Chains A and B, each alone.
Chain A
């Protein structure tokens, strides 16, 4: 069964008397364990799509099935629950809480599902360790480099064992070396833990880490192809 299935998704922003069709009839499916890159020019609706499938925003029309269930008729708190249990977000701007240690940032999702404090601490430590951040647990975001901050964000996305990670330009604010480091971690998550990854990027080099590239233009999917063997950054085992 597909992890994500969208049918004729649309999103229209009404701005005064003009309307922006940010997403215009998007239908696609993503299976469990896939690694998908979304590309396309600025303003083509990539972020809009990500926000809708991440249950952060609601579509104007169409249907969205996550793990076989219709998300359309869920209320606020049910959507919060879905984000908590099934989806990990990685944003371009990291979106970590300021003046809060890396550890507590990673603990955040577990705070909202009633996880007992000791287990919370332990799982957060493990997730940080997996991201190579041992010894940085008590650093605040402003004491970490961009790459380190993004790894804290990935640890936070992982910690509740979500089957889906949505990353909107995760390397957008990073230099090439940090970007590659981050992408290698993401590939590892996909390969070793079977986590489904959907990633937005403008850079072909970054997209080449994935297995499937979907291209958007003007709110529509214009191409959807697997990455050719020759172009793959990380070869199949």
Chain B
């Protein structure tokens, strides 16, 4: 039996003799592996980003918005006429057992000034419930209290982006900033959260007590109006129950008859995000599946070239057989040749795939993550392709009759 290093030497020489042909054959595998890795990287990147966003938004969330959700036809007015109130929020907190925390929100945009620095940002009036609801913590200072909400105290919590742009490295806690010219005392800083699902900077925000926002910053069309209510369910398995309880309670409170349209909408944020993550994953896999077709085509290219190679080298095979090459000596020679093609192509394809992902995220701004698993997977897949498509030509070569092979013209 011939040794592997000797076979490898023979195979490499054969590939070197037809450099151009070998390179073109490899190109099929290179493109295939590169495409698979890039597509997997795009898929993984997208779904990882969604998971990050899910974690940053907070888990088991329901958002109640004013307006109907039936957008079939002309009614697209979700959120246009505000019918939700602070009392609705309190009622939910007290009467819905599946709900653990509630945060009504009344928000708007305003100019914020500190010293000679100013910044335009979103201001949310809310209740202390916002912190547990959004899984938010403070990096310094303290949160405002129910007391602050009742008294409409002029205190605020700053997001990290605000702190960076107004204070630089100085400690903001205890300082006075002006929101729409009204002085506010900074009592705490929110921990950093990063970007939200639609690319918004979640740290570019200021939280103030709900009543302060209603009465002292923005004013309200009617007393107690809120723009939305965010609710946290006690657990993932209580989300549906919470949704049902809220629907029932608010329908009752808003006196909506059984055949009337609801004037509010309950949205399950977690579910929405999960659905998005799932569809992203499916999309990624679909892309990878399409890409692996090109890998398959590359494999067929290898088989084609190996068959040509076997035919061209029939006499060589005859000579080798006449001096004692056995069935597996011949097979091994051609299998290793095919494997070499596909594995070198695989390595080059990995390099192409990694750089392709980098270029894609630099150019189009997609988050791409090349996982070691996808590299390993596509490398072994290309090896498998070489083995699979190399075997038949090798098998064919090994079955030649020595004398026929020697006399082949």
Contact = CB atoms under 8 A, between A and B. Distances in A.
Interface residues of B, number: 23
Interface stretch (A83-91, A125-133, A223-231): A83-91
B3 A114 contact: yes
Interface stretch (B35-43, B85-93, B261-269, B316-324): B316-324
A57 interface: yes
A112 B329 contact: yes
Contact of B322 (A95, A111, A113): A95
A95 B406 contact: yes
B403 A109 contact: no
A84 B327 contact: no
With most chain A CB atoms within 10 A of its CB, the pick from B17, B318, B323, B401 is B323
A84 B323 contact: yes
Contacts of A54: 322
A236 interface: no
B319 A112 contact: no
B152 interface: no
A123 interface: no
B326 A97 contact: no
Contact of A56 (B6, B325, B329, B403): B403
Interface in A105-126: 108-109, 111-114, 117
A31 B332 CA distance: 38
A97 B319 contact: yes
A120 B179 CA distance: 90
Contacts, number: 66
B2 interface: yes
Interface residues of A, number: 28
Interface string B160-176: 00000000000000000
B323 A114 contact: no
B132 interface: no
B322 A112 contact: no
Interface in B395-409: 401-403, 406
B2 A81 contact: no
Contacts of B322: 54, 56, 83, 89, 95
B117 to A, nearest CB: 77
A195 B403 CA distance: 24
Contact of A80 (B3, B326, B406): B326
B1 interface: yes
Identify whether the interface residues of B are mostly helix, strand, loop, or mixed.
helix
B1 A109 contact: no
B6 A111 contact: yes
A51 B324 contact: no
A8 interface: no
A117 B17 CA distance: 23
Nearest to B323: A109
Contacts of B324: 80-81, 83-85, 109, 112-113, 160
Contact of B327 (A76, A113, A160): A76
A51 B403 contact: yes
Interface in A89-107: 89, 91, 95-100
Interface string B314-351: 01101111111111010000000000000000000000
Most buried by A among B17, B321, B322: B322
Contacts of A98: 316
Given A80-B321, A95-B319, A111-B6, A56 B326 contact: no
Contacts of A156: 323
Nearest to B7: A111
Nearest to B315: A95
28 contacts: A54-B322, A56-B321, A56-B322, A56-B402, A57-B403, A76-B326, A77-B326, A80-B325, A81-B326, A83-B322, A84-B323, A89-B322, A89-B323, A95-B318, A95-B319, A98-B316, A99-B13, A108-B319, A108-B323, A111-B6, A112-B320, A112-B323, A112-B325, A113-B324, A114-B1, A114-B2, A117-B6, A156-B323
Q: 6 closest A-B pairs (Cβ-Cβ)?
A: A84-B324, A109-B323, A112-B324, A57-B403, A77-B326, A56-B403
Given A81-B324, A85-B324, A114-B1, 7 more contacts: A56-B321, A57-B402, A81-B326, A83-B322, A97-B319, A111-B6, A112-B324
Interface of A: 51, 54, 56-57, 76-77, 80-81, 83-85, 89, 91, 95-100, 108-109, 111-114, 117, 156, 160
